[in-house]
Amino acid sequence: MRINEERLRQRMDRINAIAVTEEEGMMRLALSDADREARDLLVSWMEEAGMSVRIDDMGTVYGVMKGTDEKALPICVGSHMDTQPNGGKYDGFFGVMAGLEAILSIKESGLELDSDLILADWTNEEGARFVPPMLASGVNAGVFDPQWVYDREDTEGVRYEDELKRIGYQGEKENRLTKAKAYLEPHIEQGPVLDAKGLSCGIVTGALGITGLDITISGEANHAGTTPMSHRKDALVAAAEAISRIRKNCIDFGEPAVITNGIINAQPASKNIVPGTVYFSIDLRYHTDEGMAELEQQTKDIIQKTCDEFGVSVQIEQYWRAKPAVFNETIVGCVEEAANEKNLPAMRIISGAGHDAVFISEIIPTGMIFVPSIKGMSHCPQENTKWEDLVAGTELTADVLVKLDKETI
C-alpha cells in the first residue's frame, strides 16, 4: 500500500500548528479550545473522505468508512490527539493521522474490504488535564464509571463533563465502540530501543501494568532554628529517605520494573519551617499482575517502615491501576508478517507506556505498531521521529488493516 505523503504531512503540520509553546512544544490539553480546534479539523477531513462521524458520551470521535459486508464486525484503528503540557508532535497524534491516511489510501486504491473501518480519537488519553489517564477508553472498557469521569476536575476546578459540553463534543453512550473484530493502534515508541537498534518497526506484544499511588506523610511543622534535630518530626526527610529506599528496591526487583516520583510537595513551604506535611506521587510499572502486586506491596511496606523510623505517619492511596496487557497473537502476527513483506527491520517489543490499547484490549482483540523515537525522547518538545519512519508506519498500518479484514480472529 502506498500513501499520499504530501497529504499526511500537510495535515499533521496543520494540527501541530495549533497552540505551540515558546519551546516549540504542543499544548492541546484534553477538552481545551486547542483540542476542539484539532477535533474540528479531524471531523472535516473524515467527512471530506465520505466517512460518517459519530461521537460517544465521553467525547471520543469515530469516523466510519463502510465495508461491503453488513454482517462483518468492524476493524478500528486510532489513538488520541490530546497532548502533555509542552508535549511532543507525535505522541498519540501519529496514530490518529496514520489511521486516517491508511483508511483513505485503502479506499483510493480501489480495494473493497468486508469490514467497516473505524478511526477513533480517544479523549483524555494523556491524563495531563483530567487525572487519571485513558479516561474515555477506560469508560469504554468498563474500567471507569462514566459519572466518576464526568466529575473529574482539572487544577482550576473545572469538570470534565462541563468542558465536554462547552466544546460541543458530548455525544451518546450508544456510539461507544464496544464490539469490533480488531483494534490497531499505531504509535511512536516513546523509548530508545528501536532507535538504538536501528530498527524501523516495533511489533508490540503487550504493555506494562501501571499502579499510581498518592503518598501523604504527616509530621510536625516547627521552627527551623529553635527545634533541635533530636526533636524533629520532619516529613520531608522521611519522604526523601522513603523515595531513596523504594527506588533501590525497584532496581533490585529487576527489569522491566520501573518507579517514578513525578510530583513532590512540601508544606507549609517556608524556608525557615520544618516541613510538616509532604505529598509525593508514585508510578509503578511491571509486566505481570503477580509481580506488580508484589512490587506495590513491597513499596508500601518500605514507606511505612521508614515513616515509623522517623516518627511520622503516612497515608497511602491507590489512585488508579491499569493491568498489564497481552495483545492478540493473531494481530501481532499480522503486524509481523506485514513488516516482513515490506522488508522493514523490526522486532517484538513490550510497551513501557500506557495507551488506550491497554484498556481496549480487555474487550476487543488488540495490537499495536511502534515507529522509532529518536533518542527515545517523548512528552517534550524534542520528541521526534524520522519522516521515512512515519511514512513506513502509516503504510504498514494500511497493510495490516487489509490483512485483518481477511483474518479469523
Choosing from 297, 322, 347, the residue where a domain stops is 322
According to the annotation, is 379 in a ligand binding site? yes
Task: State pLDDT tens for residues 210-232.
Answer: 999 999 999 999 999 999 999 99
Q: How confident is the model at residue 322 (pLDDT cuts 50, 70, 90)?
A: confident
104 and 185 share a domain?
A: yes
**What's the mean pLDDT in 277-304?**
97
Predicted local confidence at residue 270, as pLDDT? 97
The pLDDT mean for the chain works out to 97
**What's the mean pLDDT in 36-61?**
98
| Calpha distance 219→268 (Å, rounded) | 12
| Calpha distance 343→341 (Å, rounded) | 5
214 and 143 share a domain?
A: no
What total of structural domains would you count in the chain?
2
CATH of the domain at 171: 3.40.630.10
- Using the predicted structure, report yes or no on whether residue 103 has a pLDDT greater than 90: yes
Give the predicted TM-score (pTM) of the model.
0.90
136 and 51 share a domain?
A: yes
Predicted local confidence at residue 142, as pLDDT? 96
| Calpha distance 322→210 (Å, rounded) | 5
Predicted local confidence at residue 320, as pLDDT? 87
- Using the predicted structure, report yes or no on whether residue 38 has a pLDDT greater than 90: yes
Percent of the chain past pLDDT 90, that is, above it, reads 99
82 and 178 share a domain?
A: yes
According to the annotation, is 187 in a ligand binding site? yes
330 and 317 share a domain?
A: no
Choosing from 322, 355, 372, the residue where a domain stops is 322
According to the annotation, is 355 in a ligand binding site? no
According to the annotation, is 287 in a ligand binding site? no
283 and 330 share a domain?
A: no
240 lies in which domain range? Answer: 209-322
381 and 401 share a domain?
A: yes
194 and 240 share a domain?
A: no
54 and 105 share a domain?
A: yes
**What's the mean pLDDT in 88-108?**
98
| Calpha distance 163→286 (Å, rounded) | 34
336 and 282 share a domain?
A: no
CATH of the domain at 309: 3.30.70.360
Choosing from 278, 298, 322, the residue where a domain stops is 322
Query: Angle, to 10 degrees, between the axis of helix 387-406 and the axis of helix 329-341?
Result: 120
DSSP 73: P
According to the annotation, is 91 in a ligand binding site? yes
Task: State pLDDT tens for residues 252-261.
Answer: 999 999 999 9
43 and 153 share a domain?
A: yes
37 and 127 share a domain?
A: yes
